[in-house]
Amino acid sequence: MLGVETHELWTSGMISLGVGLMLMLKWKDWLLHSFDPAQARASGLWVNWLHYGLLAALSLTIVATLSAAGLILAIGLLIAPGAIAFLTVRKFSTMLWVSVIVCMTSMLLGTYASFFLDSAPAPTIILIMTALFIVAFVRRQIITRRTSLQRVEDTLS
C-alpha cells in the first residue's frame, strides 16, 4: 500500500471523484431503488439504469481501490464501514457520513499504527476496522437487550 505510484493515485482519485459526483447527484433515486425497486419503478425511475449504474459504480470503486490498496483492504473498505455505520446509527444519510468517518479514521490509525508495530498497513487497517465493528456490535447488542427488557417490564406493569 505504501508503494503506490503517483499515476495510480491520480487514477484512483479521478474514479473516486466521478463515482462520488454520480452518487451525490442521484443518491435519492438509488436509495429508493435499493430499498423498494417496485416503488422506484412506479415513480417513473429507470430502474434498469439505476441497477446497472450502481453496479458500474461498485466496479469502478473496486478497480480504484485494488490498484492502490490490494484485495483484502478493498473488500474490507467496502464492507466494514457500512456495517459499522449500520450498527451505530439509523438514518441513512447519517450512515453515509459515519461510514466515511470510520473509513478515514481506520485508514489513518492503521497506517500510523503499522509504522510503530512494524507491520503491513493494510492488515493493520483491517484489524482496526474489526475492533471498531466488535465495539459497535457489542454496543448494539447492549442497547437491544436493554430495550427488550424495558418492553417486558412495561408489559408486566
In the chain, % of residues over pLDDT 70: 98
Decide if pLDDT at 1 tops 70. Answer: no
Same domain, residue pair 82 and 115 = yes
Interatomic CA distance for residues 80 and 61, integer angstroms: 15
Q: What letter would DSSP give residue 119?
A: S
Decide if pLDDT at 70 tops 90. Answer: no
Same domain, residue pair 98 and 63 = no
CA dihedral 143, 146, 147, 152 (to 10 degrees): 160
Interatomic CA distance for residues 78 and 83, integer angstroms: 9
| Domain boundary, last residue among 41, 69, 97 | 69
Alpha helices in 44-120 (DSSP H): 47-69, 71-88, 92-117
Same domain, residue pair 105 and 156 = yes
Same domain, residue pair 50 and 79 = no
The domain total for the chain is: 2
Among 75-79, 122-126, 132-136, the range with the most confident prediction by mean pLDDT is 132-136
Same domain, residue pair 9 and 26 = yes
Same domain, residue pair 91 and 16 = no
| Domain boundary, last residue among 9, 39, 69 | 69
Same domain, residue pair 42 and 64 = yes
The region that residue 119 occupies, defined by phi over 0 for left and psi between -120 and 50 for alpha, beta otherwise, is beta
Per-residue pLDDT averaged across 97-124, rounded?
Answer: 91
Interatomic CA distance for residues 99 and 23, integer angstroms: 15
Same domain, residue pair 108 and 39 = no
Same domain, residue pair 29 and 53 = yes
- Residue keyed to cell 447492549: 142
Per-residue pLDDT averaged across 32-58, rounded?
Answer: 86
Same domain, residue pair 54 and 94 = no
Same domain, residue pair 64 and 78 = no
Q: Could you list the residue range(s) of the whole structural domain that residue 41 is in?
A: 1-69
Decide if pLDDT at 89 tops 80. Answer: yes
Q: Please tell me the pTM assigned to this model.
A: 0.77
| Domain boundary, last residue among 16, 47, 69 | 69
Same domain, residue pair 51 and 77 = no
